[in-house]
Amino acid sequence: MKISVGILARDVSSWQALLRQIGVPSRPAAGALLVEEYSAVIVADDAGAEALGSAREYLRAGGAVLCSGTVHALLTGRANDKRPISYLVQDGRDGPFPGIGIIDISAPCAVPAGAQCVRAADGRASVAVERVGEGALIALPFDAPALLEDRRCTYKSFWMDRRRLPFEYLSRVSRGGVRKITARALELLHHTRGLPFLHLWHFPGEARSLFALRIDTDYGSAAEIESLSALLRKNDIPATWFVHVGAQRELLPRFAAMKDQEIGVHCFEHKAFLTPGEMGLDLEKAEAALRAAGISFEGYAGPFGRWSMTLAQVLARRGFEYSSEFSYDYDDLPSFPSHGGRPEPVLQVPVHPMSIGSLRRQGCTPEEMRKYFADAVTRLLGAGDPLFFYHHPKNLHPEVLEGLFSRVREEKIETTLLGEYARWWKVRSSVAFEAELDGGLLRLSGAAENVRCRMTLADGTEAWAKLGSAVETRSLSWTSVSAPLSLPARIGRIRKFNPWIPLNRLEDAFHRKFLL
C-alpha cells in the first residue's frame, strides 16, 4: 500500500507547492485510480470530466478524496451554497478540525451541501465530512491553491483580554490557516482509511519548534543598539538583525563585529517603494554600504512588513535567499510565493507580527506584554509553528524580552537564525519522499540530514522515523499528540471594527505630513 496523495488537476503545480510545504508524499494522478496506489486523492477545481469519473470510481472502491465545494457538487450531484465567508473558526476539541484557529478568507466561497463542521463568522457550518460509497470525502468551501494566490492586505486585530486591541497590516488571507485545514483534512482522510498520516516534520530532527528573533533596526541609536546587543549576549540569544543602513552607516562597524548574530538588509531609506527601479536603487545603496563594511548577507525584511510580487522578483534578481514580510504571511511555515503556480526562488520566512512597539502603542503595561508573548508561545507551540518573533531597538522594555526568553527556555526550545532555518527548509523542500506500507512494515525513501518523517494515527498518537529506512510501525515510540488549544470565548471580537486602527492611521498620516 503506497502512502501517497494523488493530484487530479490539469495543472498540478499549485497543489504540489502546498503539499510540499505540508510535507506529504504526492504525485500527479491520471486514469484509473487504485486504492492501493493512492492513500488519498485531491480533485482540483480544474479537473476535467474524465478525472471526476475516476474520482467517483476511486471513492466507491474505498478511496479518500479532498476537494472544494465546487467539485463536491459535481461529484455528488448536490448543489453547493455560494456565499461570501469572512473567516472560519476551528471546531471544539471534540470536532474533526480542532486547533486550526481563525482562518481569514474574505472571499466568495462554495459551501458543500451537508456541511456540518468548521463554522463561518455567521455561525453556519462550511466543511463537509462524509462517506461516499465505501470511501471518505472531505469538501472545503474553497480551492486552497487559488486562495493562496490572493495578494490582498488589511489591518487585523490580535486577541488580548482587554478593551483596546493591538493590530498590524497583514495578508488578508490566513495562509497558515489554509495550510492547517488542508493538512488536517488529509490527516482525517488517511485515518478514516485506517492508514497513518505521514509528512516531513517542520523542524530539524524531532524538535518541537525553534525560536528566532528578528530585529528591524529602524532608526535605532548607538546606545539602543548596544543595549539590545548586551541583552542578547547576557541571555545567549542569537538574532537576525535587518539593518536600516541609511540611518546607521556609522554603526556598520558595530554590526560587522557582532558575534553569533546574522545581518540582513532592511533598507537604505525606510520607505515602502512601489516600482522595481526604486526598490533596486534602494537595495543597491544598502548592499554596497554593507559590503564596504565587510558584512555579508542573504536575507531581507521590507520596511513596514510590506511585500509584493514585484519586490520578490527584484530580490530574486539581486540574489537574496529569503525575505520576511508579514503582509505576505505570518504565523506560518516558510513557503515560496507563486503566481499562476510558478514559484519565486526567494523563500518567505514568516514571523509573528506583533512587536513590543505594537503593544506599547495601544497602552499595554509591561505585565500585559509579558503575558501576551507567553500566550503566543503556548499557542504557536500547540499549532506546531515556529516561535519566530520580531523587535525594534527603539521598542525598549528589556524586561518583556527577558520574559519571552525565559518562556522559551522553560519549554526547552532551541534557538536559530532566520538564515539558518531558511537553508534547512530549502533542504527539506528538495527531499524526494515516498512511503509504502506492507502490513506493519513501513518503507521510507529519500535522504536528508536532520529531516524526519512524522506519523500520526487515528488513536491520537504520533511517532517519528528516519528517511531511507524500513521500520516496523509497532516498534516505534508512539506518544500522545498534544491536545489542541481552545480559542477564547469572545475571539470573534478581533474581527470586528477596531476604532484604534483609523485613529492611529490618522495620527501616522499627520506625523508624516507635518513632523517629518
DSSP structure string for 170-211: EESS-HHHHHHHHHHHHHHHHHHTT--EEEE-SSSTT-S-EE
Question: Which residue, chain included where needed, has cell 506518544?
Answer: 479
Chain-centre distance for alpha carbon 490: 24
Contact status, residue 125 vs residue 115, Cβ threshold 8 Å: yes
CA distance 336 to 21: 9
pTM strictly above 0.85: yes
CA 462 vs CA 154, 285, 381, 452: distances in Å: 37, 50, 16, 13
Contact status, residue 374 vs residue 334, Cβ threshold 8 Å: no
**Ramachandran quadrant class, 219 (left: phi over 0; alpha: psi -120 to 50; beta: rest):** left
Q: Where are the domains of the chain?
A: 5-159+171-200, 210-425
Supply the DSSP string of 365-393, one letter for each residue. -HHHHHHHHHHHHHHHHHHT--EEEEE-G
Contact status, residue 39 vs residue 27, Cβ threshold 8 Å: no
CA distance 506 to 428: 44
Contacts of 98 (CB under 8 A, 6+ apart): 90, 91, 92, 484
**Ramachandran quadrant class, 109 (left: phi over 0; alpha: psi -120 to 50; beta: rest):** beta
Torsion angle, alpha carbons of 26, 31, 32, 38, to 10: 0
pLDDT in tens, the chain (516 residues): 999 999 999 999 999 999 999 999 999 998 899 999 999 999 999 998 999 999 999 999 999 999 999 999 999 999 999 999 999 999 887 889 999 999 999 999 999 999 999 999 999 999 999 998 899 999 999 999 999 999 999 999 999 999 999 999 999 999 999 999 999 999 999 999 999 999 999 999 999 999 999 999 999 999 999 999 999 999 999 999 999 999 999 999 999 999 999 999 999 999 999 999 999 999 999 999 999 999 999 999 999 999 999 999 999 999 999 999 999 999 999 999 987 778 889 999 999 999 999 999 999 999 999 999 999 999 999 999 999 999 999 998 999 999 999 999 999 999 999 999 999 999 999 998 899 999 889 999 988 889 999 999 999 999 999 999 999 999 999 999 988 888 998 999 999 998 999 999 888 776 666 655
Per CATH, domain 210-425 is 3.20.20.370: yes
Strand order in the sheet with 117-120: 26-28, 5-8, 40-43, 64-68, 135-140, 125-132, 117-120, 81-89, 102-111
Contact status, residue 452 vs residue 464, Cβ threshold 8 Å: yes
Nearest residue to 82 (alpha-carbon basis) of 67, 72, 74, 70: 70
Best CATH choice for the domain 5-159+171-200 from the list 3.30.1490.20, 3.40.50.880, 3.30.470.20, 3.30.420.40 = 3.40.50.880
Q: Which three cell numbers stand for residue 303?
A: 520596511
Question: Which residue, chain included where needed, has cell 534547512?
Answer: 424
Amino acid occupying residue 466: K
Chain-centre distance for alpha carbon 341: 18
